[in-house]
A and B are shown apart, each in its own frame.
Chain A
Amino acid sequence: MSPVRVLLFCFLCTSSCASELRERALRLMARDPLIDGHNDLALQLRILHNNKLSHIRLYNLSNVATDINRLKTGRVGAQVFAAYVMCTAQEKDAVRLTLEQIDVIQRMCTSYPDLELVTSAQGLEQSTKTACLISIEGGHSIDSSLATLRMFYQLGVRSMALTHTCNTPWAESSSNIYSFYPKKNQSLTSFGEAVVREMNRLGMIVDLSHSSWDTARSVLEISTAPVIFSHSSAFAVCQHNRNVPDWLLVMLKEKRGLIMVNMHSGFISCGEKGNISVVADHFEHIRKVAGFESIGIGGDYDGASKFPDGLEDVSKYPALIQELVRRNWTETELAAILRRNFLRVFKEVEKVRDRQSSQPPSEAEIPLADAANPCRLILTRPVSGSVFRDASSSNVNVLTCSVVSSVLLPFLLLLLLLLLPTAV
């Protein structure tokens, strides 16, 4: 056979093989649509549209990586949407901002016939639409209050990352960008343990993405329910401290938890753009260390800016599954990582909740000294009459308790000053 014919033969074979692989991937995903553990569309809705859903059509959105059409193309059967608020809101209006993000996800997921808000494993399994779940990304959202955690659960939140890129008064983050609450010896305080126990009691999934490894270890030791990393990848493949080291993967496996692989280039190929093959390397490594039962997918779309070639947005997931098919992952393994592992974890978390149904809500309180700040009112009994007095400073500039006023306003003023000469 001539070299040209050999090349032509190889090309045709490759194309037809690829096409067959693609078909297999799509068939698999039709049977087991993906449950994606982490998406930040809600953040983009805030940044780009100030949560005004009436101004947009969610089928086809520009400047984001997620919309209804692309979720369908990507065979995403369920999406966990993060009600994320920035760390700079800690000690300010994080709680209110979190409620607003929960509200926008609820409104989004109940305004389109293609979406359905779910709050249980059963709801997730039975949904015939693109199911939505709500997560919280950072314990600063609960402002060290178990009551607030409970109210979030009532509003439909089913998982919470204990930290974002900042420590809370009770848990340590993997990041040191911010100087909040530097931890010395305790990555998870007694109150932090109380938070984890209350999450177990409620049936809220504990998410360790963004936590420090020490925090993760402590949580894995005490949690009675399996836990997840909703959007983290393998440290052994890319040495970023947002990723999970092998020893922690082993602990996670022992506790029947889940690591949902993050697609962001920063965590996949440590900054290089990367490609589908490198992403697949993460899956293979985790499978080797912790087994396929420990794996899921948590894209982090719309929460990060750079994604590997071929995985630019939520419509591209089939290409990833195709690559895993090419690497001879079995149908059982793929069904597991697409969906069944997450469902297993979610059901187990619910069983732990049900077993604890006679346990009363926790009344644990964070020690005052751990969480004191000017925006946290300490109420004291009145000296006379029925007016209650504030034991903390009443001279606090009220503007400093709103992250918009205290951070964005000066920033916007500065931006305006910088732009003025060019505008003229």
Chain B
Amino acid sequence: MLTDVLHNDLPWQLRSKFNNQLNNVDLNTLNSTHTNIPKIKAGRLAAQFWAAYVPCDTQNKDAVRQTLEQIDVIHRMCEKYPEDFMFATSSRDIMEAFTQNKMASLIGVEGGHSMDSSLATLRTLYQLGVRYMTLTHSCNTPWVDNWLVDTGSDPSENNGLSDFGFQVIKEMNRLGMMVDLAHVSERVMKQVLNVSEAPVIFSHSSAYGVCPHKRNVPDDILKLVKEKEGVVMVNFYNDYVTCSDKANLSQVADHFDHIKKVAGASIIGFGGDYDGVERVPEGLENVSKYPALVAELLRRNWTNEEVQMALGKNLLRVFEKVEQVRTHRKRQIRARMTPAARRCTACLC
């Protein structure tokens, strides 16, 4: 049993605790975080998306540079621990890491403010290995609204997605970067699900039907995710699990059950959010505890197939489909080229 997890904020902890000075940290013995190498092994993690997150306070300031620094620390982390981590940028890489008994390490950028409203910057992020972008963190960008609009804390500035926001989605589809809808407003969820050519993800959101928190995904959206063959990776943060500051493993499993009931096991995954939140459930204190959650699902009569889907098959399906959309778009572009232009061999077109 090996798990693919879509959101982990260890890089943020590395920044805030150690200023990204990896020379001052040993991930084998670090004990002040939810995540370290022994815990990853105990948790049987096969793949992990590390979040290259920078706070909303950096928007309109130095978000881009700080994002590059977070991407850099993820690269360096993988270089420093080559026996344990394999830097990955594709579904095939994830499989390759599995054969080498290493954890595939991928990058997700958490918040559209990181691209500073620039499609060129988005493209360079893709080149640096970023394979999903959460459209917002907890702030509006100039082109998309965040979940706080649904609570009334933030005004809607874009009516969901602006025209430019739709261009961002289109470019992400073309590049093969997964669109992540954790943290966005409900209107944005619907707009993106309807317009995206590739399946989309919620990298760390849970079920609104179990805990009516605006960071969670309502049932009608779950059904739309199913229709569009996306994935919802369950967040373990207590406040999103029970809508209170306490939770336990069983209550997390309730989210899995609910999503399966409403939309089927084909859209579920493990989101975690370890090291991005301070309150995690009893029984799921850190990344080593995933097997306990799997055991609970099996105890609740999930089939092996359903469990395997949640563990990684669903994510891989989405990732492969996103890559296929990229390939298909490139073929379409090449088909429209003149023979001379087609002789261009580079893959950046």
Chain A residues in the interface with B (C-beta under 8 A):
51, 93, 95-96, 99-100, 102-104, 106-107, 109-113, 116-117, 143, 145, 147-148, 150-151, 154-155, 360-361, 363, 365, 375-377, 379, 381, 385-390, 394, 396, 398, 401-402
In the complex, the answer to whether A95 meets B72 with C-beta atoms within 8 Å is no
Interface majority SS (helix, strand, loop, mixed), chain B: helix
- The 17 listed contacts between A and B (C-beta, < 8 Å) are A93-B64, A95-B64, A96-B116, A111-B349, A113-B341, A113-B344, A116-B345, A116-B346, A148-B65, A151-B72, A154-B75, A155-B124, A155-B127, A377-B55, A377-B61, A379-B57, A386-B277
In the complex, the answer to whether B68 meets A377 with C-beta atoms within 8 Å is no
Interface size on B, residues (CB 8 A): 47
Which residues 56-88 in B have Cβ within 8 Å of A in the complex? 57-62, 64-66, 68-69, 71-73, 75-76, 79-80
In the complex, the answer to whether B64 meets A363 with C-beta atoms within 8 Å is no
In the complex, the answer to whether A110 meets B124 with C-beta atoms within 8 Å is no
Tell me, rounded to whole Å, the shortest Cβ–Cβ distance linking A111 to chain B.
6
Of the residues A99, A154, A387, A398, contact of B118 by C-beta under 8 Å: A99
Collect the chain B residues with CB atoms within 8 Å of residue A155's CB. 124, 127-128
Of the residues A103, A148, A363, A365, contact of B23 by C-beta under 8 Å: A363
Of the residues B68, B71, B341, contact of A95 by C-beta under 8 Å: B68
In the complex, the answer to whether B66 meets A377 with C-beta atoms within 8 Å is yes
Question: How many angstroms from the CA of A116 to the CA of B278 in the assembled complex?
Answer: 49
Tell me, rounded to whole Å, the shortest Cβ–Cβ distance linking A46 to chain B.
11
In the complex, the answer to whether A103 meets B124 with C-beta atoms within 8 Å is yes
8 further contact pairs, Cβ within 8 A, besides A95-B68, A390-B57: A93-B64, A95-B65, A99-B118, A110-B348, A112-B344, A147-B68, A148-B72, A379-B55
Tell me, rounded to whole Å, the shortest Cβ–Cβ distance linking B198 to chain A.
22
In the complex, the answer to whether A110 meets B120 with C-beta atoms within 8 Å is no
Question: How many angstroms from the CA of A273 to the CA of B325 in the assembled complex?
Answer: 55
In the complex, whether B329 has a CB less than 8 A from a CB of chain A is: no
Tell me, rounded to whole Å, the shortest Cβ–Cβ distance linking B24 to chain A.
8
In the complex, whether B16 has a CB less than 8 A from a CB of chain A is: yes
Minimum CB distance partner of B276 in chain A: A386
Collect the chain B residues with CB atoms within 8 Å of residue A381's CB. 16
Of the residues A102, A379, A390, contact of B16 by C-beta under 8 Å: A379
Collect the chain A residues with CB atoms within 8 Å of residue B28's CB. none
In the complex, whether B340 has a CB less than 8 A from a CB of chain A is: yes
Collect the chain B residues with CB atoms within 8 Å of residue A107's CB. 348-349
Of the residues A106, A389, A401, contact of B61 by C-beta under 8 Å: A401
Tell me, rounded to whole Å, the shortest Cβ–Cβ distance linking A416 to chain B.
23
Tell me, rounded to whole Å, the shortest Cβ–Cβ distance linking A398 to chain B.
4
Tell me, rounded to whole Å, the shortest Cβ–Cβ distance linking A414 to chain B.
24
Which residues 1-21 in B have Cβ within 8 Å of A in the complex? 15-16, 19-21
In the complex, whether B151 has a CB less than 8 A from a CB of chain A is: no
In the complex, the answer to whether A96 meets B23 with C-beta atoms within 8 Å is no
Of the residues B124, B277, B341, contact of A99 by C-beta under 8 Å: B124
In the complex, whether B343 has a CB less than 8 A from a CB of chain A is: yes
Minimum CB distance partner of A400 in chain B: B60
Collect the chain B residues with CB atoms within 8 Å of residue A95's CB. 62, 64-65, 68
Tell me, rounded to whole Å, the shortest Cβ–Cβ distance linking A157 to chain B.
11
Tell me, rounded to whole Å, the shortest Cβ–Cβ distance linking B134 to chain A.
15
